[in-house]
Structure 1
Amino acid sequence: MLKKLLKQNMGTSNLGWLESQFHFSFAEYRNPSNINFGVLRVLNDDIVHPNSGFDTHPHSNMEIISYIVDGEITHKDSMGNSETLTRGEVQYLSAGDGIFHSEHNLSATTDLRLLQIWIIPPKAGMPRLYGSKKYLKEERENKLLNIVSSQDGNSEIKIYQDVNFYVSELEKEKSLDFTLKEKRQVYFVQIEGTSTINGIEINERDAMEITKENSIHIKAITDSHFLFIEMEEA
């Protein structure tokens, strides 16, 4: 089953310094029928304007992945980590019993766009993790790049939950196939451009829930940049 989710039906927020599109209930966007998709609890498409950001704040018992679309993000946390990441690079945080962090766009002129993704961990109180990976464009160009996996998976970034994140930048008219194992499902996000998934068109900032399918065929209608999360069925 393919369920297309149009961007205009998603939650939105504009705080002046931050513009957000909420795929699931978050902050002032409350929709009791749209809390999560399996272990995927939050997916926010954020634009952080210059010289602003998220000041120091706490998290616990959540696995948080940030995928940078444009601009630069500067991270600091209570574990002593500090770094700046840019397009196509990934930051992950398993907050365990508690961590404080900040995320800022220190540029004076350029917006930061990122996907902020929260995954529910297998259980509470797991050891804290932090890390990042500076993936190259060539690694995701016209191919699927597995950017996040479980501890037993194949990605260099490993979190606790049984999920796989894939990204690709697919040139116009090129296509890719992905096989789903039994009792697995996918949440697909069209970051930039337009694709078809099993013949259904999906445009920039739209999403799709994919359940009860054996495979998906992704074709780029324009140059296409997308991310999807593969997980166990709810």
Structure 2
Amino acid sequence: MSQLQQVENVKIRKAEARGHANYGWLDTHHTFSFAYYFDPEYMGFRSLRVINEDTVTPGDGFGTHGHRDMEIITYVLDGALEHKDTIGEGGVLYRGDIQHITAGTGIMHSEYNHSKSENVHFLQIWIQPNSKGLKPTYNQHSFEVEKNSGKLNLVVAKDGRNSAIKVNQDVDLFASVLKDGDSIDYAFENNRYGWIQVARGEVDIEVDNNDKFSLKAGDGVALSEIKKVSISTTSNGEILLFDLA
């Protein structure tokens, strides 16, 4: 039986159905097939290839490893994540920071928990680029998502508009922190697709003023041929909304 609930053009991926591994230093959940977790039903959605929810213990992390031909986005939920790479970039990401890497022709990097006492909790997202062999680049930007609660904050965009980080794919990514009673709407243009990932708390989603769904942290939902989505909460929530070609 499929673990992806389907109602017309809405497919819900429940948190508990994700791939999961715990290596002691790393507790990780995979929305789509990744590493040792493979399920042909869950290879990605449109250009969205990976959503991993990672928690790394103090002082531990991913040693130097390589990537090619992938757009990699890191969204920190709690703690501090330290990055170093072979193109001379490095820094520490905190809550509200977003990192973007164009792996392109190849990049080596490491990611470690910067803290010696607290876990770091983050989402790592991979998006397939619109072309291969791009020059490797690195971007890091702080967005005041919590201060702008109750709104959709554009953090990554195909054209880099409105101070968003530019990505090499036809995708816009919005982040939103919702407090009790908040409600936001988003309209999709024709031939666009959506993915909503719940990062914290619980949210209620209504599509095209019809079907309603309740989602919790770790849940994701794929939206196909949907014109409008409304997102609200009575239990504080945080979401990422992808608008995909």
Which amino acid in 2 is paired with 1:204? A
Aligned to 1:230: 243
From 118, 136, 154, the counterpart of 2:144? 136
Which residue is equivalent to 1:112? 120
Count of paired positions: 232
CA 1:137–1:36 in 2, change beyond 3 Å: closer, same or farther? Answer: closer
Does the 8 Å contact 1:48/1:111 carry over to 2? yes
Of the three residues 79, 84, 98, the one matched with 1:76 is 84
Conserved? CA contact 2:204–2:232, under 8 Å = yes
Q: Give the alignment of 1:1-80 within 5 angstroms.
A: 1-80=9-88
Aligned to 1:147: 155
5+ residue gaps, structure 1: none
Unpaired runs of 5+ in structure 2?
1-8, 207-211
Q: CA deviation at 1:156?
A: 2.5
Moved over 3 A (4+): 137-140, 152-155
Deviation (angstroms), 1:153: 4.1
Rounded to whole Å, the distance in 1 between the matches of 2:104 and 2:57 is 30
1:205 partnered with 2:218: yes
Instruction: Provide the secondary structure at the position in 2 that maps to 1:121.
Output: coil
Q: Is this contact kept in 1: 2:145–2:153, CA < 8 A?
A: no
- Decide whether aligned partners of structure 1 residues 138 and 30 sit closer, same or farther in structure 2, where only a CA change above 3 A counts: closer
Say if 1:165 and 1:230, in contact at 8 Å, map to a contact too.
yes
Q: For the residues of structure 2 that align with 1:204 and 1:138, how far apart are their CA atoms?
A: 17
**In 2, are the aligned partners of 1:139 and 1:145 still within 8 Å (CA)?**
no
Q: Are 2:100 and 1:92 equivalent residues in the alignment?
A: yes
Q: Is the 8 A contact 1:92 1:131 kept in 2?
A: yes
Offset at 1:152? 5.8
- Quote the RMSD (CA, aligned, Å): 1.2
- Name the TM-score, length of structure 2 as normaliser: 0.92
Q: Which residue of 2 aligns with 1:174?
A: 182
Distance 2:33 2:218 in 1: 17
Task: Report deviation, 1:129.
Answer: 1.6
- SS of the residue corresponding to residue 109 of structure 1 reads coil
**Secondary structure, counterpart of 2:235 in structure 1:** coil
- Kept after mapping to 1: 8 A contact 2:69/2:105: yes
Cα pair 1:140 1:167 within 8 Å, conserved:
no
* Matched residue SS, 2:36: coil
Name the CA distance, whole Å, in 1 between partners of 2:103 and 2:159.
16
Q: Is the 8 A contact 1:20 1:44 kept in 2?
A: yes
- Give the structure 2 partner of residue 220 of structure 1: 233
Counterpart pick for 1:193 among 201, 216, 223: 201
Deviations along 1:99-145, one digit per CA (max 9) or x if unpaired, are 11111002111111110000000111012221110112455411110
